[in-house]
Chain A
Amino acid sequence: MNFEQFQNQSRLYVIGALEPEEIDEFEKARKKFGKKAEDFITKCYALHEAFALSLRPAKSSDAIKERLMAMLKAKKQS
Protein backbone atom coordinates (compact mmCIF):
# COMPACT_ATOMS: atom_id res chain seq x y z
CA MET A 1 0.00 0.00 0.00
CA ASN A 2 1.46 3.38 -0.95
CA PHE A 3 0.84 6.51 1.10
CA GLU A 4 -1.91 7.82 -1.15
CA GLN A 5 -3.80 4.53 -0.74
CA PHE A 6 -3.14 4.75 2.99
CA GLN A 7 -4.66 8.24 3.03
CA ASN A 8 -7.82 6.95 1.35
CA GLN A 9 -8.03 4.10 3.83
CA SER A 10 -7.43 6.47 6.75
CA ARG A 11 -10.44 8.56 5.88
CA LEU A 12 -12.57 5.40 5.82
CA TYR A 13 -10.96 4.21 9.05
CA VAL A 14 -11.83 7.32 11.07
CA ILE A 15 -15.50 7.06 10.17
CA GLY A 16 -15.47 3.34 10.95
CA ALA A 17 -16.10 2.29 7.36
CA LEU A 18 -13.16 -0.03 6.82
CA GLU A 19 -14.24 -3.62 6.35
CA PRO A 20 -12.72 -6.20 8.74
CA GLU A 21 -10.60 -7.72 5.98
CA GLU A 22 -9.10 -4.28 5.24
CA ILE A 23 -8.07 -3.57 8.81
CA ASP A 24 -5.00 -5.84 8.88
CA GLU A 25 -3.48 -4.32 5.79
CA PHE A 26 -4.30 -0.85 7.08
CA GLU A 27 -2.60 -1.52 10.40
CA LYS A 28 0.50 -2.86 8.62
CA ALA A 29 0.69 0.28 6.50
CA ARG A 30 0.13 2.38 9.60
CA LYS A 31 3.19 0.81 11.22
CA LYS A 32 5.19 1.14 8.01
CA PHE A 33 4.51 4.88 7.66
CA GLY A 34 4.95 5.56 11.39
CA LYS A 35 4.57 9.15 12.59
CA LYS A 36 3.56 10.37 9.16
CA ALA A 37 0.64 7.95 9.31
CA GLU A 38 -0.36 8.95 12.84
CA ASP A 39 -0.27 12.64 11.94
CA PHE A 40 -2.47 12.03 8.94
CA ILE A 41 -5.00 9.98 10.91
CA THR A 42 -5.18 12.76 13.51
CA LYS A 43 -5.97 15.23 10.73
CA CYS A 44 -8.66 12.92 9.39
CA TYR A 45 -10.54 13.11 12.69
CA ALA A 46 -11.28 16.71 11.79
CA LEU A 47 -13.86 15.19 9.44
CA HIS A 48 -15.89 14.24 12.52
CA GLU A 49 -15.92 17.82 13.69
CA ALA A 50 -16.85 19.08 10.24
CA PHE A 51 -19.77 16.65 9.90
CA ALA A 52 -21.11 17.66 13.30
CA LEU A 53 -20.76 21.35 12.49
CA SER A 54 -22.64 20.83 9.24
CA LEU A 55 -25.78 20.16 11.29
CA ARG A 56 -28.13 22.75 12.70
CA PRO A 57 -27.67 22.81 16.50
CA ALA A 58 -30.60 21.23 18.33
CA LYS A 59 -32.17 22.54 21.50
CA SER A 60 -31.89 20.26 24.48
CA SER A 61 -34.05 20.21 27.55
CA ASP A 62 -32.97 22.59 30.33
CA ALA A 63 -33.45 19.74 32.77
CA ILE A 64 -30.56 17.85 31.19
CA LYS A 65 -27.96 20.30 32.36
CA GLU A 66 -29.50 20.46 35.83
CA ARG A 67 -29.39 16.67 36.10
CA LEU A 68 -25.86 16.57 34.77
CA MET A 69 -24.59 19.10 37.28
CA ALA A 70 -26.44 17.35 40.12
CA MET A 71 -24.80 14.06 39.10
CA LEU A 72 -21.38 15.72 39.10
CA LYS A 73 -21.98 17.20 42.51
CA ALA A 74 -23.05 13.83 43.88
CA LYS A 75 -20.07 12.15 42.27
CA LYS A 76 -17.64 14.65 43.77
CA GLN A 77 -19.17 14.23 47.22
CA SER A 78 -19.03 10.44 47.14
Chain B
Amino acid sequence: MARSELTSTRRKSKKRVRIAQSRVVPRTIAPALKPGAPSDFELMKGIQAGDADALSQLYDRYNGILKALILRVIHNEAEADDLLQEIFMEIWNQAKNFSEQKGKPLGWMVTLARRRAIDGLRKKQAYARAEERLQNETEQQPDAWVHNATEEEIVLSDTRVLIRKVIMSLPPAQQQAIDLAFFRGMSQREIAAKTNTPLGTVKTRLELGLKKIYDGLKDLRDEL
Protein backbone atom coordinates (compact mmCIF):
# COMPACT_ATOMS: atom_id res chain seq x y z
CA MET B 1 0.00 0.00 0.00
CA ALA B 2 1.39 3.39 -0.93
CA ARG B 3 2.18 5.75 1.90
CA SER B 4 -0.22 8.30 0.46
CA GLU B 5 -3.10 5.88 0.94
CA LEU B 6 -2.29 5.65 4.62
CA THR B 7 -2.12 9.32 5.34
CA SER B 8 -4.61 12.05 5.36
CA THR B 9 -4.80 13.99 2.15
CA ARG B 10 -5.23 17.19 4.13
CA ARG B 11 -1.89 17.23 5.91
CA LYS B 12 1.13 15.09 5.24
CA SER B 13 3.39 16.17 8.02
CA LYS B 14 6.13 13.82 9.21
CA LYS B 15 4.18 13.22 12.40
CA ARG B 16 1.09 12.08 10.53
CA VAL B 17 3.14 9.79 8.32
CA ARG B 18 4.68 8.22 11.41
CA ILE B 19 1.27 7.64 12.94
CA ALA B 20 0.02 6.09 9.72
CA GLN B 21 3.02 3.78 9.53
CA SER B 22 2.44 2.68 13.08
CA ARG B 23 -0.92 1.31 12.01
CA VAL B 24 0.67 -1.11 9.62
CA VAL B 25 3.47 -2.34 11.85
CA PRO B 26 2.96 -4.88 14.63
CA ARG B 27 2.47 -3.37 18.04
CA THR B 28 3.46 -6.40 20.05
CA ILE B 29 7.10 -6.85 20.86
CA ALA B 30 6.77 -10.03 22.89
CA PRO B 31 5.40 -13.31 21.55
CA ALA B 32 1.60 -13.35 21.46
CA LEU B 33 -0.01 -14.99 24.47
CA LYS B 34 -2.92 -17.35 24.40
CA PRO B 35 -6.17 -15.87 25.73
CA GLY B 36 -6.22 -16.11 29.51
CA ALA B 37 -2.52 -16.86 29.77
CA PRO B 38 -0.76 -15.05 32.61
CA SER B 39 1.30 -12.03 31.67
CA ASP B 40 5.05 -12.00 32.13
CA PHE B 41 4.60 -9.71 35.13
CA GLU B 42 2.17 -12.18 36.70
CA LEU B 43 4.62 -15.01 36.15
CA MET B 44 7.41 -12.98 37.74
CA LYS B 45 5.19 -12.35 40.75
CA GLY B 46 4.53 -16.07 40.90
CA ILE B 47 8.25 -16.81 40.84
CA GLN B 48 8.85 -14.23 43.56
CA ALA B 49 6.26 -16.10 45.61
CA GLY B 50 8.06 -19.41 45.05
CA ASP B 51 5.73 -20.87 42.42
CA ALA B 52 7.75 -23.35 40.34
CA ASP B 53 4.95 -23.61 37.79
CA ALA B 54 5.36 -19.92 37.03
CA LEU B 55 9.01 -20.52 36.17
CA SER B 56 8.00 -23.49 34.07
CA GLN B 57 5.65 -21.28 32.05
CA LEU B 58 8.23 -18.55 31.70
CA TYR B 59 10.70 -21.17 30.49
CA ASP B 60 8.26 -22.44 27.87
CA ARG B 61 7.66 -18.89 26.70
CA TYR B 62 11.23 -17.66 26.42
CA ASN B 63 13.72 -20.52 26.37
CA GLY B 64 14.02 -20.27 22.58
CA ILE B 65 14.82 -16.57 22.61
CA LEU B 66 17.31 -16.85 25.45
CA LYS B 67 18.95 -19.92 23.90
CA ALA B 68 19.37 -18.02 20.63
CA LEU B 69 20.99 -15.16 22.50
CA ILE B 70 23.36 -17.48 24.37
CA LEU B 71 24.25 -19.36 21.19
CA ARG B 72 24.99 -16.11 19.45
CA VAL B 73 27.53 -15.36 22.16
CA ILE B 74 29.18 -18.71 22.79
CA HIS B 75 28.54 -20.69 19.58
CA ASN B 76 28.41 -24.04 21.33
CA GLU B 77 25.17 -26.03 21.54
CA ALA B 78 25.99 -28.09 24.65
CA GLU B 79 27.42 -25.14 26.57
CA ALA B 80 24.42 -23.06 25.55
CA ASP B 81 22.03 -25.66 26.97
CA ASP B 82 23.96 -25.81 30.25
CA LEU B 83 24.04 -22.06 30.49
CA LEU B 84 20.34 -21.81 29.71
CA GLN B 85 19.60 -24.04 32.67
CA GLU B 86 21.89 -21.98 34.91
CA ILE B 87 20.25 -18.77 33.74
CA PHE B 88 16.75 -19.99 34.58
CA MET B 89 18.02 -21.02 38.00
CA GLU B 90 19.41 -17.51 38.38
CA ILE B 91 16.06 -16.06 37.30
CA TRP B 92 14.51 -18.11 40.09
CA ASN B 93 17.14 -17.04 42.63
CA GLN B 94 17.27 -13.39 41.60
CA ALA B 95 13.54 -12.84 40.98
CA LYS B 96 13.31 -10.86 44.21
CA ASN B 97 15.53 -8.22 42.59
CA PHE B 98 13.17 -7.75 39.66
CA SER B 99 11.07 -4.62 39.77
CA GLU B 100 8.32 -3.52 37.39
CA GLN B 101 9.66 0.02 37.63
CA LYS B 102 12.89 -1.05 35.97
CA GLY B 103 11.33 -2.50 32.85
CA LYS B 104 9.70 -5.64 31.55
CA PRO B 105 10.56 -9.21 32.56
CA LEU B 106 11.91 -10.17 29.15
CA GLY B 107 14.32 -7.22 29.14
CA TRP B 108 15.51 -8.16 32.61
CA MET B 109 16.00 -11.81 31.60
CA VAL B 110 17.85 -10.87 28.42
CA THR B 111 20.17 -8.58 30.36
CA LEU B 112 20.86 -11.35 32.83
CA ALA B 113 21.32 -13.99 30.12
CA ARG B 114 23.65 -11.80 28.07
CA ARG B 115 25.85 -11.07 31.05
CA ARG B 116 26.05 -14.73 31.99
CA ALA B 117 26.75 -15.78 28.41
CA ILE B 118 29.57 -13.27 28.02
CA ASP B 119 30.99 -14.26 31.43
CA GLY B 120 30.69 -17.90 30.42
CA LEU B 121 32.45 -17.25 27.16
CA ARG B 122 35.42 -15.78 28.97
CA LYS B 123 35.51 -18.20 31.89
CA LYS B 124 35.40 -21.37 29.85
CA GLN B 125 38.29 -20.19 27.75
CA ALA B 126 36.22 -20.83 24.71
CA TYR B 127 36.92 -17.26 23.81
CA ALA B 128 39.81 -18.05 21.50
CA ARG B 129 37.85 -20.75 19.71
CA ALA B 130 34.80 -18.53 19.35
CA GLU B 131 37.03 -15.71 18.18
CA GLU B 132 38.38 -17.96 15.47
CA ARG B 133 34.88 -18.94 14.43
CA LEU B 134 33.80 -15.32 14.57
CA GLN B 135 36.77 -14.35 12.44
CA ASN B 136 35.74 -16.89 9.84
CA GLU B 137 32.15 -15.72 9.97
CA THR B 138 33.17 -12.09 9.76
CA GLU B 139 35.29 -12.79 6.71
CA GLN B 140 32.51 -14.69 5.02
CA GLN B 141 29.66 -12.50 6.12
CA PRO B 142 30.50 -9.18 7.79
CA ASP B 143 27.09 -8.91 9.31
CA ALA B 144 25.48 -11.80 11.10
CA TRP B 145 22.09 -10.12 11.28
CA VAL B 146 22.04 -9.92 7.51
CA HIS B 147 23.20 -13.52 7.36
CA ASN B 148 20.29 -14.66 9.50
CA ALA B 149 17.85 -12.58 7.57
CA THR B 150 18.72 -14.21 4.27
CA GLU B 151 17.68 -17.66 5.44
CA GLU B 152 14.55 -18.00 3.38
CA GLU B 153 13.23 -20.96 5.28
CA ILE B 154 12.90 -18.98 8.46
CA VAL B 155 9.41 -17.92 9.22
CA LEU B 156 9.82 -14.74 11.17
CA SER B 157 7.37 -13.22 13.54
CA ASP B 158 6.09 -9.76 12.80
CA THR B 159 8.12 -8.44 15.69
CA ARG B 160 11.33 -9.98 14.44
CA VAL B 161 10.70 -8.68 10.94
CA LEU B 162 10.21 -5.18 12.27
CA ILE B 163 13.25 -5.22 14.53
CA ARG B 164 15.45 -6.68 11.82
CA LYS B 165 14.19 -4.11 9.37
CA VAL B 166 15.36 -1.41 11.73
CA ILE B 167 18.73 -3.09 12.33
CA MET B 168 19.32 -3.82 8.67
CA SER B 169 18.67 -0.23 7.74
CA LEU B 170 22.02 0.55 9.38
CA PRO B 171 25.25 0.61 7.38
CA PRO B 172 27.08 -2.75 7.75
CA ALA B 173 29.93 -1.15 9.70
CA GLN B 174 27.50 0.13 12.35
CA GLN B 175 25.77 -3.25 12.53
CA GLN B 176 29.10 -4.97 12.99
CA ALA B 177 30.20 -2.60 15.75
CA ILE B 178 26.94 -3.14 17.64
CA ASP B 179 27.08 -6.88 17.08
CA LEU B 180 30.60 -7.08 18.52
CA ALA B 181 29.68 -4.88 21.49
CA PHE B 182 26.37 -6.50 22.35
CA PHE B 183 26.85 -10.15 21.46
CA ARG B 184 30.58 -10.41 22.16
CA GLY B 185 30.81 -7.99 25.05
CA MET B 186 33.70 -6.19 23.36
CA SER B 187 34.84 -2.75 24.45
CA GLN B 188 35.29 0.06 21.97
CA ARG B 189 39.05 -0.54 22.04
CA GLU B 190 38.64 -4.25 21.38
CA ILE B 191 36.33 -3.52 18.47
CA ALA B 192 38.79 -0.98 17.12
CA ALA B 193 41.61 -3.53 17.30
CA LYS B 194 39.53 -6.32 15.83
CA THR B 195 38.23 -4.29 12.90
CA ASN B 196 41.42 -2.27 12.45
CA THR B 197 39.42 0.92 12.80
CA PRO B 198 40.28 4.12 14.70
CA LEU B 199 38.74 4.23 18.19
CA GLY B 200 36.88 7.45 17.43
CA THR B 201 35.26 5.86 14.39
CA VAL B 202 34.11 2.88 16.44
CA LYS B 203 32.57 5.20 19.01
CA THR B 204 30.77 7.15 16.30
CA ARG B 205 29.50 3.98 14.65
CA LEU B 206 28.15 2.69 17.94
CA GLU B 207 26.52 5.97 18.88
CA LEU B 208 24.91 6.51 15.49
CA GLY B 209 23.83 2.90 15.11
CA LEU B 210 22.31 2.62 18.57
CA LYS B 211 20.51 5.93 18.18
CA LYS B 212 19.01 4.83 14.88
CA ILE B 213 17.84 1.54 16.36
CA TYR B 214 16.47 3.28 19.45
CA ASP B 215 14.62 5.82 17.33
CA GLY B 216 13.51 3.17 14.87
CA LEU B 217 11.89 1.21 17.65
CA LYS B 218 10.02 4.29 18.84
CA ASP B 219 6.70 2.95 17.62
CA LEU B 220 7.21 -0.13 19.74
CA ARG B 221 8.63 1.59 22.79
CA ASP B 222 5.50 1.30 24.90
CA GLU B 223 5.34 -2.39 24.19
CA LEU B 224 9.08 -2.81 24.84
Contact = CB atoms under 8 A, between A and B. Distances in A.
B-side interface size class: 35 or more
Given A46-B224, A64-B63, A19 B206 contact: no
A17 B187 contact: yes
Contacts of B7: none
A11 B208 CA distance: 10
Interface residues of A, number: 38
Nearest to B92: A72
B188 A19 contact: yes
Interface in A20-78: 42-61, 64-65, 67-69, 71-73, 75-76
A58 B67 CA distance: 6
B27 interface: no
A41 B104 CA distance: 13
A63 B51 CA distance: 21
A68 B89 contact: yes
Contacts of A45: 102-103, 107, 111
Contacts of B50: 76
A38 to B, nearest CB: 9
B110 A54 contact: no
Contacts of A43: 221
A55 B85 contact: no
A2 interface: no
B137 to A, nearest CB: 15
A46 B221 contact: yes
B107 A53 contact: no
B149 to A, nearest CB: 9
Interface of A: 7-8, 11-12, 15-17, 19, 42-61, 64-65, 67-69, 71-73, 75-76
12 contacts: A19-B189, A46-B221, A49-B106, A49-B110, A50-B163, A50-B166, A55-B69, A56-B154, A57-B68, A68-B59, A75-B92, A76-B52
Question: Closest 5 CB pairs between A and B?
Answer: A57-B64, A46-B224, A11-B210, A55-B68, A58-B67
